[in-house]
């Protein structure tokens, strides 16, 4: 698994514990200028021999370049069969199976698999960890909880290859300019997605991510549109409005459960509790 992070101390240990328990053999992580203790967390896993840590100091969110570097190392240095290019807020889920076992069922001619994401909605801040508070997900999911963008797009995992190129956003892969085909293959995989976990985390991600995209002169303007839009909202002094649209109170949750737009889903909470992840 590759993992690109910046200021994800509230979630990165849970992410690593879940995926290592689910069968990920090794993690290659790139930290991009974290200042919140994320590096200290990653260093513990590096000391345990299950993670390689790269420090990236550029501040233009060149995600494709950085993730491609890690994905190629997975093939050349670790002999990987499959590579999951992950974000800290995404938990790949193989219900009833481990990840390698499920991916082993993919036909050999299939080089990459699209995996749908399910968004979990933000709840009021408290001292509890995100995974205990956030047990309600959207049905169907949108790119950002509380925002009126179209349906949330899938992510892609792929067979390891030394010349793989991972697209910005981890939504597609190519080899020497040729897209890796993604036939309709129902693997049973899904991604549990926790993008907005607290007011501070949400604002920090908007400010850092939006500014980094603004500094990138290579990407087209449509790349990172969600974060560019949210950055503009923040600069216009409308962050409180955006946060208010994301976080749901008890009455809003009850209404969503009643009309079917929300579903209770305790799978990750149950998994992390069973693993003894610190609360």
pLDDT in tens, the chain (279 residues): 999 999 999 999 999 999 999 999 999 999 999 999 999 999 999 999 999 999 999 988 889 999 999 999 999 999 999 999 999 999 999 987 899 999 999 999 999 999 999 999 999 999 999 999 999 999 887 665 555 555 678 899 999 999 999 998 899 999 999 999 776 667 899 999 999 999 999 999 888 877 776 777 676 766 667 767 787 888 899 999 889 988 999 999 999 999 999 999 999 999 999 999 986
Distance, in Å, from the CA atom of 188 to the CA atom of 142, rounded to the nearest integer, reads: 20
Largest Cα separation within the chain, whole Å, is 52
Helix (H) or strand (E) holding 92: strand 90-94
Could you tell me if 53 and 43 are in contact, meaning their C-beta atoms sit under 8 angstroms apart? yes
65 CB-near residues (< 8 Å, 6+ apart): none
Residue 147: how many CB atoms within 10 A of its CB? 15
pLDDT number for residue 279: 66
Burial class of residue 253 (count of CB atoms within 10 Å of its CB; 0-12, 13-18, 19+): middle
Query: What is the per-residue pLDDT across 151-171, written as a single tens digit (0 to 9) for each?
Result: 678 899 999 999 999 998 899
pLDDT number for residue 184: 63
Which tokens in the block code for residue 193?
A: 């997605």
Distance, in Å, from the CA atom of 79 to the CA atom of 98, rounded to the nearest integer, reads: 19
8 CB-near residues (< 8 Å, 6+ apart): 15, 34, 36, 38, 88, 89
Give CA angle at 155 (119, 38), nearest 5°: 70
Tell me the H-state helices in the chain.
Answer: 12-21, 38-47, 63-76, 99-103, 130-133, 199-215, 225-235, 239-246, 250-259, 267-275
Region of residue 230 (left: phi > 0; alpha: psi -120 to 50; beta: else): alpha
Inter-CA distances, 76 with 43, 73, 104, Å = 23, 5, 20
> 64 preceded by cis ω (within 30°)?
no
> Helix, strand, or coil here: 109?
coil
């Amino acid at each position: 698994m590759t993992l690109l992070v910046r200021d994800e101390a509230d979630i990165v240990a849970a992410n690593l514990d879940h995926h290592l328990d689910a069968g990920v053999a090794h993690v290659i992580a790139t930290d991009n200028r974290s200042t919140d203790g994320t590096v200290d967390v990653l260093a513990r896993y590096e000391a345990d021999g299950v993670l390689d840590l790269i420090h990236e100091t550029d501040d233009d969110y060149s995600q494709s370049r950085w993730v491609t570097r890690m994905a190629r190392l997975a093939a050349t240095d670790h002999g990987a069969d499959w590579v999951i290019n992950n974000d800290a807020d995404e938990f790949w889920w193989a219900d009833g199976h481990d990840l390698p076992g499920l991916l082993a069922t993919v036909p050999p001619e299939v080089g990459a698999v699209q995996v749908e994401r399910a968004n979990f909605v933000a709840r009021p801040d408290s001292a509890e960890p995100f995974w205990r508070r956030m047990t309600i997900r959207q049905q169907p999911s949108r790119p950002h909880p509380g925002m009126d963008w179209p349906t949330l797009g899938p992510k892609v995992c792929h067979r390891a290859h030394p010349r793989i190129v991972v697209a910005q956003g981890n939504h597609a892969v190519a080899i020497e300019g040729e897209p890796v085909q993604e036939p309709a293959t129902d693997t049973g995989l899904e991604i549990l997605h926790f993008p907005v976990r607290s007011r501070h985390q949400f604002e920090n991600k908007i400010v850092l991510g939006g500014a980094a995209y603004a500094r990138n002169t290579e990407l087209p303007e449509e790349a990172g549109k969600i974060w560019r839009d949210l950055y503009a909202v923040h600069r216009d002094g409308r962050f409180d409005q955006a946060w208010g649209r994301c976080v749901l109170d008890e009455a809003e949750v009850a209404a969503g459960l009643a009309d079917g737009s929300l579903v209770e889903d305790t799978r990750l909470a149950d998994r992390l509790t069973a693993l003894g992840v610190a609360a």
